[in-house]
Amino acid sequence: MTKKFCANCEAYRDTKAEDRIETYKVHGKSIPVPVRVDVCLTCGETLFDKERDSDMLHRVYTAYRRQAQLADAIEALTADEATKETEQ
């Protein structure tokens, strides 16, 4: 068990790592990002650290770009199919 400072308890508490899906909004799109957070065992509050947050931002934008590329690919595919249909 790791002891970390909990801002809510204003004390060092035992924490546990928890895997979660956090949803961030980027340009009006909801981007779900898997994250590992530390949770205070005393009050149940999620502990944030700055390092994680800057890393998070990076991951959110990576996920956003991946989703945007996917959307573009699907759009291109659909456009392609639509063209084919008109040709016939």
- Under the rule (CB under 5 A), what is the footprint of Zn ion? 6, 8-9, 13, 40, 42-43, 45
Name the token pair of 9.
């308890």
Q: Shortest approach of Zn ion to residue 8 CB, angstroms? A: 4
Closer to Zn ion by CB, 14 or 55: give it. 14
Q: Shortest approach of Zn ion to residue 55 CB, angstroms? A: 22
Angle, CA of 71, 26 and 36, to the nearest 5°: 100
Distance, CA of 2 to CA of 15 (rounded, Å): 6
Which helix (H) or strand (E) is 85 found in, with range?
Answer: helix 50-87
Q: Shortest approach of Zn ion to residue 14 CB, angstroms? A: 9
- Determine the distance from the C-alpha atom of residue 23 to the mean position of all C-alpha atoms in its chain, rounded to a whole number: 5
Closer to Zn ion by CB, 22 or 45: give it. 45
Closer to Zn ion by CB, 8 or 54: give it. 8
